[in-house]
Each structure stands twice: as C-alpha cells, then as structure tokens.
Amino acid sequence: VRGIKYSRNFGYQRSIYQAYLECKGECAIQIDCDLQDPPSLIPVFYEKWDKKGYKAVSGVRKSRKEGQLMNWSRKLFYRTLNFLSDEGMPPDVGEFRLIDRKIIEVLRIVGDHQPYLRGLVSTLGFKQYFYSYNRERRQVGVTKFHFSDLIGIGMDGVLNYSIVPLR
C-alpha cells in the first residue's frame, strides 16, 4: 500500500489516474475510503484477476442507499451515455475496480489530461469482469461532491466516451 500526497486538488478522476500511473505492482485496486464499497470484495476481485485471467474487474452497483433524485439522475446519465456511445458500458459501474499492469501501461500511453476512467478502461478491449453488489451508505464523513461536480464528471464522460460531440 502506498500513499501519494499531491500539491493541490487535481480532481477525483485525475487523482485516480495518476495513482494508477504511480503503481509499481502487477495490479492496482481503487476503492474510496468512505467504505460504501465493501473491502470484503477485494479478494473476490483479486481471484477473478489471478485465477480467471481478467485484466479488469469492476464493481457494478445493483442498489445504492442514496436519495431518490440522485439515484434517478445517475440512471438517466448512464442510459444517456450508452445511447451516445458506440461502446457498451454496464450502467452503474464505478471506480471500485482492479486493473492489471497491462491496462496501467496503456493508460500511461493514453496520457489523458481529463480522463473518464469508467469509460476509458471499459473501451480498451481487455478481458473484463463486472461484479454486481449492493452499495451501502457512507460509513465515514460526508460527501465532498456537489451535484455540479457530478455534472462535470458526466460531461467528461460524454465528451471523452462518446462520438456524438464530434458528429
């Protein structure tokens, strides 16, 4: 386990991306510290990678214990993104994932300044597994994401993951 301290806040997606690039191991696991994603699934993700040969294992949230408006907004976003994209991405996939060294090296080559990792990792073409689970309520602290921050990540997703803006 390594910790990285940045000189300033570079944003959620960019920080995760940079942490992947700093990884020295054969795989990397990203999990938020608020414990909404269960750490007990890490061995399951690891086994899918180690024994089954998946290069990415991503958590897909079957249910979320959040407000109705937020749940509805997220569902609408994922459906819209998949409609605008030629690539299919399972709705409700998050950043809770394990990725292989090969994916990390491709991410290094891509060099995206404003990455949308959910879309980027899913379009790289490597063997992937999507594990469904129920997402719990936040155990520690309060969210620092405002609705406008989520809109910004959503815009990155539409601009980086779909071809409609180019058309």
- Over residues 22-56, the pLDDT tens digits come to 999 999 999 988 888 899 999 999 999 999 999 99
Residue 56 buriedness (CB in 10 A; 0-12 / 13-18 / 19+): buried
pTM score: 0.81
Note the pLDDT of residue 35.
Answer: 81
Q: Please state, for a pLDDT cut of 70, what percent of the chain lies above it.
A: 89
Give the confidence band of 10 by pLDDT, cuts at 50, 70, 90.
confident
pLDDT of residue 134 exceeding 80, the answer is: yes
| 51 in Cβ contact with 57 (< 8 Å) | no
And the tokens for 162? 């779909």
Type of residue numbered 81: L
